Amino acid sequence: MKFKHKVLYVVSAVICLLILFVGRENFVKSLFGVSKNKVAVSTLQMEFAKIKIRDGDVWSSLPQSFDKSSIDAVSGHLQSHASLDDIFNYYRKALPPLGWVEAGVKDRNGERTVKFCKNAMSLNIVASRDAAGIDYYLGVAWAASKGLDAYCPHSNE
């Protein structure tokens, strides 16, 4: 084995050990730091709390928060007996007064996603029909990378 291959092997092994011992999120954070536009989980929680869910819809999984270096979010799942159109129309009316701007719609394999943006935060509603009616995800998130579905640009971008 050539010397440069040995050096590359040792460097790779050291990086793998660092990731193993400090964790992937901490390793990435130590390399790149925290984004200056990062939105605190407490802010996401406050924004999430402002959203009034549709009358009659019930939580099938209560909202939870998570804090990672590349994405932070507050989200939960709801069940509804309303139609997909009724659910999305409700949120399309309820969210703009709270400052949310619709940023896109995706329909794929019976699942519909509507995304809203507000000051580097995204609000995603993902809904599909199941045996009990409509199951939908409601989440407010901040994502560091433009490659993530939850990414919304900051107002200064």
Cα–Cα dist 52/95, whole Å: 9
Please say if the pLDDT value at position 13 is more than 80: no
pLDDT for 124 beyond 80: yes
Q: Determine how many CB atoms are found less than 10 A away from the CB of residue 100.
A: 24
Q: What was the pLDDT predicted at 155?
A: 62
Query: Within a 10 A sphere around the Cβ of 56, how many other Cβ atoms?
Result: 9
pTM of the model: 0.75
The reported pLDDT for the residue numbered 7 is 60
Of the listed ranges 103-107, 130-134, 138-142, the one predicted with least confidence = 130-134
Indicate whether 60 pLDDT > 70. Answer: yes
The pair of three-digit structure tokens given for residue 130, joined into one six-digit string: 């199941």
DSSP state, 147?
Answer: T
Residue 1: its pLDDT value, please? 67
Structure tokens at 111: 């699942």
- Share the mean pLDDT of the chain: 83
pLDDT at residue 32 in the model? 46
User: 10 Å Cβ neighbour count for 131?
Assistant: 5
65: phi then psi, degrees, rounded to nearest 5: -115, 150
Chain centroid, CA 20 distance in Å: 25
* Structure-model confidence comparison of residues 9 and 133, the more confident one: 133
Q: By the 8 A CB rule, do 68 and 88 touch?
A: no
